[in-house]
């Protein structure tokens, strides 16, 4: 990456209203069959154009290719029954109806590889592609076959590794694994979570990232955050292990969050995607607010390792708000670049 402070997003952007109901998570598609395939690609190109118009350096598909960041991947696996749905509590926080694992899991076909190649053909910019992490996958399922969270996580890690290698071969520059579950299940993270993540990222020819956040701005998450006290020290549990890991980039939440910024010191040496945009508020940050967050982060991360980013995905936000936030992110990063150059 030649740009100093390359801007990027943690993941999703809002979908156009002709493709899916806006401001809704897990929103069902409004199209089907060939029309849906075409609509998703049109939306991907729009998301790309909006990121580039707003000055985002490391671009993505804006997750226009998926209904949900975990379930769309799982839908393409053998061994998962989508008719046999059970209600489980996700990340100890909210209930959702999820599919069941009913037999050995395997990847039936590449899931996002064609979409990634399509994005690659339309831009020269570095591209980042998000996949769910193994622990977050098992947390979004009911397991009626393996009877062991760890065993199922290792199976998913091997499947993710196949997909990630093909994404890299298709020209993806950064494969990012989303692991919000790392902020909840600390014992599992230490015992096998980071190891399973490294297995998913093993042998990749591109850079690898892990995204750990406090979630979308939905009610269940907002209520959970109220229980976390005045200082959110969850990263303290996982960062020392991640600092030792083979993962190149850590994506974390920062702006408007109660995460003490000095915790960034725990992953010194890694590249950091620092969240300088709050996804739980429709208020658009000023460039100066973005710059202030990045300036604080620079006390704990070297400038050549800082990637200004969003706290999490922006799928549930109004489209105009998300776009304005992208612009604020770029403008804030530019303030800092000028300061560093001066
Ligand atoms: Zn997130």
pLDDT score recorded for residue 74: 93
**Burial class of residue 178, CB neighbours in 10 A (0-12, 13-18, 19+):** buried
Which DSSP symbol is given to 206?
A: S
Is residue 188 situated within a structural domain? yes
pLDDT score recorded for residue 341: 93
Dist. CA 72 → ligand 1 center (Å): 16
Percentage of residues of the chain with pLDDT beyond 90: 83
Dist. CA 342 → ligand 1 center (Å): 34
Dist. CA 253 → ligand 1 center (Å): 8
pLDDT, averaged across the chain: 95
CB 64 within 8 A of CB 50: no
Dist. CA 121 → ligand 1 center (Å): 27
Dist. CA 341 → ligand 1 center (Å): 31
Dist. CA 289 → ligand 1 center (Å): 20
pLDDT exceeds cutoff 80 at 99? yes
pTM for the predicted model, two decimal places? 0.96
* 44: containing domain: 33-341
Dist. CA 44 → ligand 1 center (Å): 20
Dist. CA 10 → ligand 1 center (Å): 7
pLDDT score recorded for residue 136: 95
Dist. CA 41 → ligand 1 center (Å): 23
pLDDT exceeds cutoff 80 at 335? yes
Is residue 177 situated within a structural domain? yes
pLDDT score recorded for residue 97: 87
The β-bridge partners of 208 are 175
pLDDT in tens, 50-95: 999 999 999 999 999 999 889 899 989 999 998 989 998 888 888 8
Report how far residue 3's alpha carbon sits from residue 18's, in angstroms, rounded to the nearest whole number. Answer: 35
Dist. CA 238 → ligand 1 center (Å): 16
pLDDT score recorded for residue 73: 94
Is residue 4 situated within a structural domain? no
Percentage of residues of the chain with pLDDT beyond 70: 100
Report how far residue 121's alpha carbon sits from residue 333's, in angstroms, rounded to the nearest whole number. Answer: 27
Is residue 57 situated within a structural domain? yes
Q: What is the mean pLDDT of residues 131-143?
A: 95
CA-based angle 185:259:313, to the nearest 5?
A: 75
pLDDT exceeds cutoff 80 at 222? yes
pLDDT in tens, 313-333: 999 999 999 999 999 999 999
Is residue 5 situated within a structural domain? no
Is residue 331 situated within a structural domain? yes
Is residue 26 situated within a structural domain? no
CB 215 within 8 A of CB 278: no
Count of domains for the chain: 1
Dist. CA 105 → ligand 1 center (Å): 25
Dist. CA 311 → ligand 1 center (Å): 7
pLDDT score recorded for residue 24: 86
Residue positions counted in the chain: 342
pLDDT in tens, 12-61: 999 999 999 998 888 899 999 999 999 999 999 999 999 999 999 999 99
pLDDT score recorded for residue 220: 84
pLDDT exceeds cutoff 90 at 226? no
Dist. CA 213 → ligand 1 center (Å): 5
pLDDT in tens, 272-328: 999 999 999 999 999 999 999 999 999 999 999 999 999 999 999 999 999 999 999
Dist. CA 279 → ligand 1 center (Å): 9
Instruction: Look up the CATH number of the domain holding residue 62.
Output: 3.20.20.210
Is residue 27 situated within a structural domain? no
Dist. CA 310 → ligand 1 center (Å): 9
């Amino acid at each position: 990456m030649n740009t100093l402070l390359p801007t990027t997003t943690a993941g999703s952007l809002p979908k156009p209203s002709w493709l899916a109901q806006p401001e809704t998570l897990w929103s069902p598609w409004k199209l089907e069959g060939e029309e849906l395939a075409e609509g998703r690609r049109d939306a991907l190109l729009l998301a790309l154009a909006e990121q580039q118009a707003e000055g985002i350096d490391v671009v993505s598909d804006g997750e226009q290719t998926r209904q949900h960041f975990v379930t769309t991947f799982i839908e393409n696996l053998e061994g998962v029954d989508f008719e046999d749905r059970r209600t489980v509590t996700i990340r100890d926080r909210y209930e959702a109806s999820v599919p069941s694992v009913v037999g050995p899991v395997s990847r039936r076909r590449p899931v996002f590889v064609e979409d990634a190649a399509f994005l690659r053909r339309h831009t020269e910019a570095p591209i980042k592609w998000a996949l769910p992490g193994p622990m977050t996958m098992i947390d979004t399922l009911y397991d009626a076959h393996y009877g062991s969270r760890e065993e199922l996580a290792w199976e998913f890690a091997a499947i993710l590794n196949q997909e990630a290698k093909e994404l890299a071969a298709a020209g993806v520059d950064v494969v990012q694994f989303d692991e919000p579950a790392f902020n909840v299940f600390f014992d599992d993270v230490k015992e096998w979570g980071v190891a399973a993540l490294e297995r998913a990222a093993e042998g990749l020819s591109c850079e690898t990232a892990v995204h750990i956040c406090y979630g979308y701005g939905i009610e269940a998450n907002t209520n959970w955050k109220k229980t976390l006290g005045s200082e959110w020290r969850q990263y303290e549990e996982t960062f020392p292990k991640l600092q030792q890991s083979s993962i190149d980039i850590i994506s974390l939440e920062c702006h408007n969050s109660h995460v003490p910024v000095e915790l960034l010191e725990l992953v010194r040496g890694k590249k950091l995607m620092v969240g300088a945009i709050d996804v739980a508020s429709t208020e658009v940050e000023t460039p100066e607010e973005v710059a202030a967050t990045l300036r604080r982060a620079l006390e704990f991360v070297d400038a050549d390792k800082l990637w200004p980013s969003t706290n999490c995905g922006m799928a549930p936000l109004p489209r105009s708000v998300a776009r304005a936030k992208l612009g604020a992110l770029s403008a804030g990063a530019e303030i800092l670049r000028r300061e560093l150059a001066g």
